[in-house]
Amino acid sequence: METKPTISYADFARLDLRIATVLEARDHPNADKLLLLKIDVGDQQKQIVAGIRGHYTPEALVGRQIVVLNNLEPALLRGEESQGMLLAATDAGGVVLLAPDRACTPGAVVK
C-alpha cells in the first residue's frame, strides 16, 4: 500500500468535504466505466463523473447519500463536466462508497 507524504492541518482544511444526496444517475454515453451523477450538496446541484460503473447500477445510487469533495476544480471527462469527486474505498471485495451512517442534511460538512 502506498504511503503518501504528511500534510498539515491547513492543507486538510482546504478540502470542502460534504454529504451529498444522489438525485439522478445514468451511464456515461462515451465511457464504459463511468457514471454521471446529479447530486444535491445543499446550496446547489452539481454533476459529477464517477468511475464506479460495474460496481454500482444507476438505480442503486438514486436517493443514496455519499461523501464528496465539493471544491475540486471542474474537469471535462469524456465530454462531460465533473464538478466534484465522490469518495470511495477499494479493497479485494471491490469498490465501497463512503457514506454517513444515518441520513444527514445535504451539504452537511465533513470534518
**47 is written with which cell numbers?**
454533476
Please tell me the distance from the alpha carbon of residue 24 to that of residue 63, in angstroms, as a whole number: 8
Query: Any idea what the Cα angle at residue 19 is, between residues 31 and 87, rounded to 5°?
Result: 45
Is residue 46 within 8 A of residue 10, CB to CB? The reply is: no
Name the residue with cell 471491490. Answer: 94
CATH 2.40.50.100 assigned to domain 21-97? The reply is no
- Residue in 20, 40, 39, 9 with CA at minimum distance from that of residue 111: 9
Q: pLDDT of 23-51, one tens digit each? A: 999 999 988 899 999 999 999 999 999 99
Q: pLDDT of 79-107, one tens digit each? A: 999 999 999 999 999 999 999 999 999 99
